[in-house]
Chains A and B, each alone.
Chain A
């Protein structure tokens, strides 16, 4: 047992409150240093310390609401929000999170939710970590010969031929409304099943697929994350009863403190080195997940109480 155990009412387990606070702060620190949401690290880490996976996912979503409000305020004060784009993404996001929570409940009943969460995370983190490692190494090598190539803001592809075109003033774009809706939908599903905000998928997609100006991206993606994680929290609470507010609030307090320290540290470190470091952390978590999935478990049997 830990220094100061706290009984988490929904999770039904007793965990060390200091340990949880430190976990929240560590993930907050990472999100402050690297400018990522950190949900993709928080959920697997909670599972490692013994929180039931379903509760870890839903409570991470709850924690994410607070963490993104905290981050969004700074961006909104500077007007870095494309409201129309955000609203359309949100429309898709609500539908996606609804489908995601329904899928989640179905998988939980059938006893496959843990394996789906673990497999999705292993795939996601391996891909993400490898891409980041590749990109940061290349950037680090390229640093000495800065042959600045002129790049177009975005490539024109079949995506720009889709119907229902709208003018997005803040982003200076004229694209189909279907694009942000579909992007929001995909991120919503991801958010419901994995308890992540999806910033790491959404931000690159907004820059490279939609062609949004970089300045408007964080404010708009945080806008989407706040409301989608709020919708996931409420839907999970109603459909699966898996939101532990005590857990979420302890993590949130730790996360906010960590994020502020992280932001200061981040300013002092160099970009490529930071990304290299994050890539290694992400790959380490992925390796642990893959190890747990592929090595013969000590106990092949598990039990679950059926709700009447």
Chain B
């Protein structure tokens, strides 16, 4: 925390003194790191978002993971057991979605504005892949999807997480759980003044497996057949080796 804070201050100081062309931009923001490396010991991590604004206003940061299709299934009680009976597929669902702001979103922008910029989990546009399902059913499954993502720590709303140091410098701690999906993320920082989005800036953030994990995963996906043979050979070798010390037992 303290190291992050120090880095933030140094970086902000650099930004402030970066010359006249940069200083007159209304919003400047960056991350302490643009790469989250998932190594063998990975148990989640966080990066610090920091920046500066040119006057009073609210800062909202939206972090979005790569989009994917997600199937939501509902269990029913059938013949004594609980079994998946209904399903609904949603298209282009962000694999990670978190909103950070300096105060609750309702106080920062009107409902219309929040809907327009998809500010807040409730304003995410999650649409079924196939049209024609009744609206009540869609909203049940949509709520279930959001609840499950929140339970896994992949969707979050943190209303008081952007803190100001003085009037202009701000920082926010963006944390990711161990199960964070890999891919390219986008961190969108918005400056809101009197309920209107004045300006915005988008910064990429890459979440990627690194080292042995990445090599194994790539091996398993690219050359699955060879990976299968290698897995078998490795296990057989280990099994044979372990039988040697007990040969005469």
Contact = CB atoms under 8 A, between A and B. Distances in A.
Given A230-B232, A241-B220, A253-B238, A306 B227 contact: no
A206 to B, nearest CB: 22
B85 to A, nearest CB: 10
Given A12-B179, A293-B81, A304-B70, A238 B234 contact: no
Nearest to B238: A66
A305 B72 CA distance: 9
Contacts of B40: 6-7
**Interface footprint category on A:** 35 or more
A235 B41 contact: no
Contacts of B228: 233-238, 243
Contact of B216 (A10, A65, A71, A297): A10
A301 B148 contact: yes
Given A111-B73, A293-B82, A297-B75, A241 B221 contact: yes
Contacts of B89: 306
Nearest to A12: B179
Nearest to B39: A7
Contact of B227 (A65, A68, A230, A243): A243
Interface in A235-278: 235-238, 241, 243, 245-246, 248-249, 252-253, 256, 260, 263
B239 A241 contact: no
B68 interface: yes
A147 interface: no
Interface residues of B, number: 60
Given A111-B71, A260-B246, A248 B80 contact: no
Contacts of B178: 5, 7, 13-14
A280 interface: no
Interface in B228-249: 228-232, 234-240, 242-243, 246-247, 249
Interface of B: 38-43, 68-75, 77, 80-84, 87, 89, 95, 141, 144-145, 147-149, 151, 178-179, 209, 212-214, 216-217, 220-221, 224-225, 227-232, 234-240, 242-243, 246-247, 249
Interface of A: 1, 5-7, 9-10, 12-14, 62-63, 65-71, 73-74, 77, 111-112, 115, 119, 226, 230, 233-238, 241, 243, 245-246, 248-249, 252-253, 256, 260, 263, 293-297, 299-306, 308
